Amino acid sequence: MRILVTGAAGFLGSHLCDRLLSDGHQVIGMDNFITGRPGNLEHLAANPNFTFIRHDVSNFIFVPGKLDAVMHFASPASPNKESPFGYPNLPIQTMKAGALGTHNTLGVAKANGARYLLASTSEIYGDPAINPQPETYWGNVNPIGPRSMYDEAKRFAEALVTAYHDFHKVDTRIVRIFNTYGTRMRLDDGRVIPNFIEQALNHNPLTVYGDGAQTRSFCYVDDLIDGIVRLLQSDETRPVNIGNPIEMSILELAQTINRICGSPAGIIMKPTLQLGNDPKRRQPDISRAREVLGWEPKVSLEEGIKAVLPYFKEQLNLL
């Protein structure tokens, strides 16, 4: 297949490009480097099956030649307002990537008769009233809250994809991505696993906000990408949760990372961050992924954290 991947220089987008190329596909990567990094794609520069186009997906997209699939991954994704790469500091760009970017990439898929896959998110469930979250749950989202630029952009994107599927008969897929970690994450994007690992490797106390009882479910990047590729190749047009169903508290995560990193500095508790609407629980129901994709994660949190430590040590110049 010849596949367009937007957000190709990002954490997930670059791993997706690697997987698609290793499967024998031709890949056209697209990114404007607002949050993605050129270094994530440097290793592909000499690959004859990879082409890169620097472009903002909120503008009209033209890709020469026939495309067989379009995979839309372009969007800021960190909720941290302290990070310049967090979507609270890029609200307009985030909304445009979700709205205009989805519209433009759907147009490319329609023009090519190509299969389309949208990278949606568990954030469409908001602060969920049920746990775990199945795809049939409509969510609990504040449309004007401090996270709304991301949550509502993705909810609109899902609605637009559905409209193109129903009205224009575009062959669409929607993946709802839950918390994922791995190499190529930014140390400065404010997400919890890079934060904790950086603190632990520097033997600083890990900062836990509130009582640490809020939960997340962490999926290793290779597992996630495998689920996404399986969804692209499947006939499933309904949204599909891809994530690790093992739920753990942030306090438990901090204790685990301290132990794996051998940090003696412990944990410091601080008042809850004032971002607002922070989900208290996050756990995917992956019954649909198991049933229609034959997929479930294989890498344990302990294995995954150990696998990414060399990358983070390199980023911190600790090797």
Query: How far apart are alpha carbons 30 and 55 in whole angstroms?
Result: 6
Q: How many domains does the chain have?
A: 1
Which is catalytic among the residues 116, 125, 150, 181? 150
**Catalytic-residue membership of 220:** no
In a domain, 262, yes or no: no
Q: Are 116 and 72 in contact (CB under 8 A)?
A: yes
Instruction: Count CA within 13 A, CB hemisphere, residue 308.
Output: 26
Domain assignment present for 230: yes
C-alpha count within 13 angstroms, C-beta hemisphere, residue 94: 23
In three-state secondary structure terms, 196 is helix
Residue 47 CB neighbours (<10 A): 14
Q: For residue 22, give the nearest of 40, 4, 49 by alpha carbon.
A: 49
70, part of any domain: yes
Beta bridge partners of 78: 86
pLDDT digits (tens, 9 = 90+) for 61-113: 999 999 999 999 999 998 888 888 889 999 999 999 999 999 999 999 999 99
| pLDDT mean for each 10 residues of the chain (319 residues) | 98 98 98 96 97 98 97 93 88 98 98 98 95 96 95 98 98 98 88 93 93 93 98 98 96 96 93 68 95 98 96 86
- Which residue range forms the structural domain that includes residue 233? 2-185+219-245+283-298
In a domain, 76, yes or no: yes
The verdict on residue 27 lying in a domain is yes
165 CB-contact burial (10 Å; exposed 0-12 / middle 13-18 / buried 19+): middle
Residue 67, domain member (yes or no): yes
Residue 263 maps to a domain:
no
pLDDT of residue 119: 98
Residue 257, domain member (yes or no): no
The model's pLDDT over 34-62, given as tens digits with 9 standing for 90+, comes to 999 999 999 999 999 999 999 999 999 99
Q: CB neighbours (10 Å) of residue 195?
A: 19
Report the CATH number that the domain containing residue 24 is assigned in CATH.
3.40.50.720
